[in-house]
Amino acid sequence: MSERRKRLIEVAFPLEEVSEHSRREKNIRHGHISTLHIWWARRPLAACRAFIYASLVDDPDSDSEREELLREVADLASWDAVRHPERVVRSTDEGGSGLSGTQLLQRARQRILDCNGGEPPQLLDPFAGGGAIPLEGLRLGCEVEASDLNPVAVLILKGTLEYPQKYGQPDSRPVPDYIHEADGDGAQSFEGGALAEQYRQNPLVADVRYWGHWIRKRAHEELAEYYPSDADGSVPVAYLWSRTIPCPSCRVEMPLIRQYWLVRKEKKRVALAPVIDREGKSVDFRVVEGPEVSGRPEQATASLGDVRCLLCSQVVKGVQVREAANAGRMSATLTAVVTARQGERGKGYREDTAQDFEAYAAAALRMATLRSTHDGDLPLVPDEPMPSRRNLTGGVITAFGFDEWGKLFNSRQLLVLTTLVRLTGEAHAAMRERGLEADYASAITTYLGLIIDKLGDYNSTLSRLDSSRESVGNTFTRQALPMVWDYCEVNPFAGASGSLERALEWVVTTLEPLGRPATVRQQEAGAPSPTSKTVIVTDPPYYDAINYADLSDFFYVWLRRSIGFLHPDLLALPLTPKREQTVVSFLTTGGGAQSDTKEAARQRYVDGMGQAFNAMSQSLDTGAVIGVVFAHTDPDAWSTLIEGLLGAGLVPDASWPIDTELQTKVAGIGQARLKTSVWMACRKREEGAGEAFLGDVLEEMSPVIRERLLFFWSQGIRGADFFISAIGPALSVFGRRERVLRPDGTEVSVREFLDIVRRESTTVALEQVLHGADLGIVDPLTRQYVTWVWSYSRAPLDSGEALALCLATGASLDEITREHSIAAAAKEKSRKVVKLRTIAQRAREDEELGQRTAARPAPLIDELQNAAWLWSQNQSDRLAAYRGSLGESRWAGLHTLGQAVAECLPDGDEDRRIILGLLGATVREAPSQQGEGEQGQFEGVRTSET
């Protein structure tokens, strides 16, 4: 294919509008593909749709045409454009293109065809995961190829990109007799109205709904006795449990409870209150509401791994709790029951009863009997091993002896899941008996398997009650498997949050057909596509951020049992592939023992990324664009990504930091809480690019970085995201050469390139944070402190990230941790970190804080913190004398710094409070000879916290 003109994505992009639509999408559930099945770090559809469209259309010749096209891109990113296509889309307050969603999509598809020779573009995503990118490719009229190594991801992709397109088209199948019979049966009703009409509109939706109800009805008939209703007709919707261990002192069974809150809303307050029987040596609970709630319910018995005995006040350390659990002494007890009444709004909360215990005991007995008599090819309950603790961040329950996947469920939860697994096989047999062809029956049954997965996610012993919303949280509220002391068991037949009915409906609402089916493959990303592609857009794994294979085994072990007979090519192995996945993870032997090193794990990731980018480069049409998404702060992660790109001859022409990251996720140690991910539009490097010297590259690169960063600043990009956003623009210059050399002829490494980018972006950031103040007075240690609090607030940094920050600001790690003690080295969760110290900590330990000597000039940050400390201690005479010793010029710089630091620290921070107090007090007491220019530097400082 001949060389193409620049695409819109390489010139302009409606960054602010697309980020806004992406932010809004995070709160959208109904009809969103995220409700089909959980997949980690799935990108917002808004960002995917806008980026793909801008990558497939040419940049217009005139500014006015470009502005019109940008409005279309912004409108197209709106959720209304795809979910409510009949509406006129307004992506901004000023209005947008004035088109409806249907018109927008029609125009977008036609423009794409016009810009690509009249043929539908070929789009590839080799790390397709949860399917957001290829789904939006289908929506825009592309012929899509999506692949992933992980079999769980492949099944999600089939359920998103293949089956709805094959089997969900209107009037594509005759309405079968069993659908008419279901409509005529007054005993049940279906969401969405009559099934026959649903079938005409979308046969797949109607069939998944019908067969989902088929297994639900039979499961309820078998298991209803284990979920008995109350005497007043209330139905238990959830059972609340607390794990227990025996107290080593008084031997009572100690409940391990994180908090006592059941409902924590402005107009509704319900909590547990412990009932302690000292004579009988037992602990029970009662439910209290409204004014009866007293004390501090947010503080219960378990905190940071330690547990306090309610009977004797003995504190049992976390290591002892783990020892008890591993020795088999950890159990669980019911603490309360959540109920609902048909026809009434709201939920009730009551103490557990004998009936509750008897029902659970009966379910446990039946489960034990089924396990002992089971003779299938696979064990009835998943006994596959849990992952190594080193492979999962955020804690892992295996430390407590939960070493098999089946151990994450209590007996009644297992009874439900294993029953549904059996009924799924029976449903498939019934489909075939009713005359459904094999492929179609397989597709329907696959969704039933995904529904069982969804139920398992909301009904394990790692699921919690959300007291602020009165709903059940799923197992994977974050990408980890930490211990949960007090868990929530759902009644799967109650129709409430986490139930089987809810799981079915969440799945059904995603089954929207979008043109022709995609080609879905299970393969490594390093395998080249058999056909050349017009565009490749992909979101590769982020180094060590998410261990997809280990996490997805939670679902894989159940899919293998429920639909393994339909997908022997995907579900034959005991667990998902580990060695071939492209993440930094540690391989283990069959017994779970460590058999890998960090360097070996990193090298597998480096090799995998290099092979993937080489395969993408080989599959890419000449002159076509490849889009790569990345969100990580670790220099090693970026270094590996960039080495892979450059090694494959791919160079970013443009990059856009789009706000796509969930703000609720728990960041790992040393990882900035990023709001954005960087979307880079790359092309193949021109042949014969040759070499260049670093000085020449810097001369060209510095103004490019500055121009782009000032634009990103205007778009609201701040903190750690600001530094990350500089990498793409810098790489567009650096990467155009095959090699960049120092004056002595040695090559500049990618890691050195990243250090240069960090220094350049730090300078631009400081200019903005310090409101244009002269950076000449700002010493390296002060630069380092301001950059830290602006980027990460008070979050501890991994030692490698702290070192990178020091290199960017000209400070050294020894200076900040030893000589000046601005920060302190520490160990947190088995990792070396560096933590900022507070003003109080520094002032109490260093009487010479902020004092100048001939041998030790004081950094400006030390002077600010000393002055703030003197103000906080009401030492006005010493503060006045200190101010006089500094001189008014230095004092003015201190004020500018104080304003910047106060703006960076979070509300409620003690250092922020006393710095604001200092600024407010000294502005009021400023000498009369102070110039207007100096006074102007202090205007607008908020002193409300003083």
- pLDDT of 31: 84
Q: Give the three-class secondary structure for 330.
A: coil
Position 37, amino acid: H
User: What is the crossing angle of helices 101-114 and 63-76, to 10°?
Assistant: 130
Same domain, 902 and 754: no
- pLDDT of 579: 75
- The fraction of the chain above a pLDDT of 90, given in percent, is 64
Lateral strand order in the sheet of 269-277: 261-264, 269-277, 282-289
For the chain, give percent helix, strand, coil, nearest 5.
45, 15, 40
Q: How far apart are CA 883 and CA 324, in angstroms?
A: 59
- pLDDT of 592: 45
Same domain, 821 and 907: yes
Q: How far apart are CA 409 and CA 508, in angstroms?
A: 26
Task: Write the burial class of residue 122 (CB in 10 Å: 0-12 exposed, 13-18 middle, 19+ buried).
Answer: buried
Mean pLDDT over 800-817 rounds to: 85
Q: Under a CB-based contact definition with an 8 Å cutoff, are residues 726 and 633 in contact? A: no
- pLDDT of 85: 86
Q: How far apart are CA 488 and CA 636, in angstroms?
A: 39
Same domain, 930 and 812: yes
- The fraction of the chain above a pLDDT of 70, given in percent, is 91
- pLDDT of 587: 55
Same domain, 693 and 751: yes
**How confident is residue 672, by pLDDT bands cut at 50, 70 and 90?**
very low
Identify the top-confidence range among 666-675, 806-815, 850-859. 806-815
Within-domain flag for 722: yes
Within-domain flag for 254: no
Check pLDDT > 90 for residue 847: no
- pLDDT of 694: 95
Q: How far is CA 686 from CA 58, 738, 855, in A?
A: 20, 10, 54
Q: Under a CB-based contact definition with an 8 Å cutoff, are residues 860 and 852 in contact? A: no
Q: Under a CB-based contact definition with an 8 Å cutoff, are residues 22 and 656 in contact? A: no
Check pLDDT > 70 for residue 488: yes
- pLDDT of 483: 92
Domain of residue 729, residue span:
689-765
pLDDT in tens, 882-934: 999 999 988 988 999 999 999 999 889 999 999 999 998 765 454 443 333 33
Could you write out the DSSP letters of every residue in 541-572? --TTS--HHHHHHHHHHHHHHHHTTT-TTTS-
- pLDDT of 8: 97
Number of domains the chain contains: 2
Same domain, 929 and 841: yes
* Residue 64 main-chain phi, psi, to 5 deg: -65, -40
Domain finish residue from 765, 788, 803: 765
Q: Give the three-class secondary structure for 293.
A: coil
Mean pLDDT over 582-595 rounds to: 52
Check pLDDT > 80 for residue 204: yes
- pLDDT of 777: 74
- pLDDT of 807: 80
Q: How far apart are CA 100 and CA 84, in angstroms?
A: 9
Q: For the chain, how many residues are written? A: 946
Position 748, amino acid: V
Higher pLDDT, 828 or 570: 570
Higher pLDDT, 672 or 757: 757
- pLDDT of 741: 95
Same domain, 814 and 715: no
Q: How far apart are CA 790 and CA 396, in angstroms?
A: 31
Check pLDDT > 50 for residue 941: no
Domain finish residue from 765, 784, 807: 765
Q: How far apart are CA 40 and CA 391, in angstroms?
A: 15
pLDDT in tens, 16-43: 999 999 999 988 878 899 999 999 989 9
Q: How far apart are CA 344 and CA 327, in angstroms?
A: 46
Within-domain flag for 552: no
Same domain, 749 and 786: no
Q: Which of 76-80, 714-718, 906-910 has the lowest mean pLDDT?
A: 714-718
Within-domain flag for 510: no
pLDDT in tens, 492-551: 999 888 999 999 999 999 999 988 999 999 999 888 888 889 999 999 987 766 788 889
- pLDDT of 930: 38
DSSP-assigned letter for residue 796: -
Same domain, 798 and 742: no
Check pLDDT > 80 for residue 591: no
DSSP-assigned letter for residue 456: H
Higher pLDDT, 186 or 369: 369
Domain finish residue from 722, 738, 765: 765
- pLDDT of 546: 79
pLDDT in tens, 725-758: 888 899 999 999 999 999 999 999 998 898 888 8
Within-domain flag for 848: yes
Check pLDDT > 90 for residue 659: no
- pLDDT of 554: 97
Within-domain flag for 716: yes
Q: How far is CA 775 from CA 767, 804, 851, 897, 898, in A?
A: 7, 20, 21, 11, 14
DSSP-assigned letter for residue 480: S
DSSP-assigned letter for residue 34: G
Check pLDDT > 90 for residue 860: yes
Same domain, 754 and 841: no
Mean pLDDT over 43-70 rounds to: 96
Check pLDDT > 90 for residue 334: yes
Within-domain flag for 121: no
Same domain, 851 and 709: no
Angle subtended at Cα 262 by Cα 258 and Cα 268, rounded to the nearest 5 degrees: 140
What the block records as the tokens of 225 is: 């006795």
Q: How far apart are CA 310 and CA 79, in angstroms?
A: 51
pLDDT in tens, 312-327: 999 999 999 999 999 9
Same domain, 921 and 780: yes
Same domain, 857 and 746: no
Cα distance from N-terminal residue to C-terminal residue, the chain: 67
Q: How far is CA 120 from CA 143, 342, 486, 572, 717, in A?
A: 6, 52, 53, 36, 35
Within-domain flag for 282: no
Check pLDDT > 70 for residue 668: no
